[in-house]
């Protein structure tokens, strides 16, 4: 069996801004490590939210959900990140970003 192809990770400007403003250094390190594992095809704890959107669940501190859209076999788009306190708004934002990305 051959080695799996690496997965390309693309970040939206909204995700990059959220991540840059994240103050918890350990959380940033865990999120970075998780994204690296996703690029190797190791998604770990993921929950499908429907409509092509999924939540990478980072079980650290208050919890840091990362909302993604898995496109093509080898492309993952990091839509946005958040916390459990704003989860409903973050999910809606992720859906809006995914729709806008699809229409471009």
Q: Which of 4, 3, 2, 6 is nearest to 76 (CA)?
A: 6
Please report the pLDDT score of residue 96 as a whole number: 93
CB-CB contact of 82 with 90 (8 Å):
yes
Q: Round the average pLDDT of the chain to a whole number and report it.
A: 90
Three-state secondary structure call for residue 41: coil
| Res 34: pLDDT | 96
Torsion angle, CA of 71/4/58/33, rounded to 10 degrees?
-120
**Stretch 67-87: mean pLDDT:** 88
Q: Tell if the pTM clears 0.85, that is, is over it.
A: yes
Q: What is the pLDDT of residue 1?
A: 55
Q: What Rg do the C-alpha atoms of the chain give, in angstroms?
A: 13
Domains within the chain, CATH numbers bracketed: 8-103 (3.30.2310.20)
């Amino acid at each position: 069996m051959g080695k799996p192809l690496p997965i390309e990770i693309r970040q939206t400007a909204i995700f990059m801004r959220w991540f840059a403003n994240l103050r918890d250094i350990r959380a940033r390190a865990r999120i970075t490590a998780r994204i690296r594992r996703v690029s190797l095809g190791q998604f770990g704890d993921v929950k499908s939210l429907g409509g092509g959107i999924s939540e990478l669940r980072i079980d650290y501190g208050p919890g840091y959900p990362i909302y993604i859209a898995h496109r093509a076999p080898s492309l993952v788009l990091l839509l946005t990140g958040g916390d459990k306190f704003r989860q409903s708004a973050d999910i809606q934002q992720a859906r809006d970003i995914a729709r806008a990305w699809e229409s471009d």
